[in-house]
Amino acid sequence: MAGNSIGQLFKVSTFGESHGVALGGVVDGTPAGLEISEADLQIDLDRRKPGQSRYTTQRRESDQIKILSGVFEGKTTGTSIGLLIENTDQRSQDYGKIKDVFRPGHGDYTYWHKYGLRDYRGGGRSSARETAIRVAAGAIAKKYLKQFHGIEVRACLSQLGPIKAENYDWDEVENNLFFFPDASKLEALDDYMRDLKKQGDSVGAKVKVVAKNVPVGLGEPVFDRLDAELAHSLMSINAVKGVEIGDGFDVVEQKGSEHRDELTPAGFTSNHAGGVLAGISTGQDIIASIALKPTSSITIPGNSINTENEAVEMLTKGRHDPCVGIRAIPIAEAMMAITLMDHLLRQRGQNPHVHHEHGPINGSVD
């Protein structure tokens, strides 16, 4: 049943389908006094917006965000913020032919079995189009984190198919349409994507998300650990099949003497842990990676069935992203920001009467 909300003290609830009237949501728990405008939110929405390069879907949506409540005279009032984006380029007629057919790799099959009926237009609720509202809510969280706590959340594409970033230059990330931190690989990316489009195929990707200046102490053991809630929020992004914190799956082959981050009076000497120890932030950078599967909307025919359980051959026309990982950059930032903000608010009640002689030690090594 109800599953369209995330967060406890900072709670985001969303609605909307790919080809419905509008997308929207309720952002609840923003402290009063934060300066926020539609323009602030629009920046991240434009980073996620379709139709910006030849490597993303050609659907044309302006994704114009409206703030309907919770902001008065330019500042948040502490009450719930209503958000709305009207859909303008639906072209539902494209989807009539998939009405009774399950596209492989999509939610068609599971939605139909779960609910007994489905909005087949563009995947309905299962479309990644809903993430537009996550990005808008995340922009509020990012502004709060930055303005009130100095925390910055950023993401980049660390790998696309076989092409890995080898150098991380964060200034480069916003300079190219791949959000790629390694300028030396841009030509290879371009070539790869051109070939992929020719083949009518798609490819997976890896996205890295980093939060800087996070204070020590966020995360509530034992089940609401910061890393566990980050795993939840990042895995809830469409197409994500894996989440890593710090060294992630590399730890399987590591020795303890190699993995443990040593401490000196000047701070940690490494950050294999990704900024979380025992579920609580260390004061170092929070580092997470996610794996996004190749979209299943490709023009190479595949086998499937229809609602009568008859064999059909499928190929997905329409306007699709050959690599959904690219547009996931602002979504990943949004989900990390939402989770961090929720934990910051949950943390505030903690331990108000103890003062440390030594403040948190921040040994950022990224």
Q: Which residues from 335-354 bind its own copies, rule CB under 8 A?
A: 344-354
Which of the residues 205 through 224 are near its own copies (CB under 8 A)? 205-206, 216-217, 219-224
Q: Are 85 and 63 in contact (CB under 8 A)?
A: yes
* Among the listed residues 48, 49, 59, 125, the single contact to its own copies using CB under 8 A: 125
Stretch that binds its own copies, among 43-51, 167-175, 184-192, 239-247 (CB under 8 A): 239-247
CB of 172 to its own copies, least distance (A): 20
Stretch that binds its own copies, among 42-50, 65-73, 165-173, 178-186 (CB under 8 A): 65-73
Separation between Cα atoms, residue 174 and residue 188, nearest integer Å: 18
Minimum CB distance to its own copies smaller for 171 or for 308: 308
Which of the residues 241 through 300 are near its own copies (CB under 8 A)? 241-265, 269, 272-274, 277-283, 291-298, 300
Distances (CA, A) of 86 to 24, 246, 273, 278, 339: 8, 38, 42, 43, 26
Minimum CB distance to its own copies smaller for 187 or for 303: 303
Minimum CB distance to its own copies smaller for 93 or for 171: 93
Minimum CB distance to its own copies smaller for 51 or for 204: 204
Closest CA to 118 of 100, 139, 143, 136: 100
Q: Tokens for 23? A: 């997308």
CB of 52 to its own copies, least distance (A): 21
Separation between Cα atoms, residue 224 and residue 203, nearest integer Å: 33
Minimum CB distance to its own copies smaller for 116 or for 187: 116
Q: Are 3 and 111 in contact (CB under 8 A)?
A: no
358 contacts its own copies (rule: CB under 8 A): yes
Instruction: Give ∠ CA 56-47-10 in degrees, rounded to 5.
Output: 125
Pairing state between β 11-15 and 22-28 = antiparallel
Separation between Cα atoms, residue 24 and residue 133, nearest integer Å: 6
Stretch that binds its own copies, among 40-48, 50-58, 179-187, 200-208 (CB under 8 A): 200-208
Which of the residues 158 through 177 are near its own copies (CB under 8 A)? 159, 161-162
Query: How many residues in the shown chain lie near its own copies by CB under 8 A?
Result: 164
CB of 184 to its own copies, least distance (A): 19
CB of 91 to its own copies, least distance (A): 16
DSSP for residue 125? G
Cα dihedral 45/48/51/53 (nearest 10): 130
Minimum CB distance to its own copies smaller for 171 or for 255: 255
Question: 219: which residues sit within 8 A by CB, 6+ positions away?
Answer: 225, 226, 227, 229, 276, 279, 280, 281, 343
CB of 227 to its own copies, least distance (A): 5
Which of the residues 314 through 333 are near its own copies (CB under 8 A)? none
Minimum CB distance to its own copies smaller for 25 or for 181: 25
- Sequence letter at residue 116: G
146 contacts its own copies (rule: CB under 8 A): no
Q: Are 45 and 109 in contact (CB under 8 A)?
A: no
* Among the listed residues 124, 138, 181, 330, the single contact to its own copies using CB under 8 A: 124
* Among the listed residues 183, 186, 228, 365, the single contact to its own copies using CB under 8 A: 228
Closest CA to 18 of 100, 121, 104: 121
Separation between Cα atoms, residue 347 and residue 226, nearest integer Å: 11
* Among the listed residues 104, 169, 183, 188, the single contact to its own copies using CB under 8 A: 104
Position of tokens 């959000």? 179
How far is Cα of residue 272 from the mean position of the Cα atoms in its chain? Answer: 22
CB of 323 to its own copies, least distance (A): 9
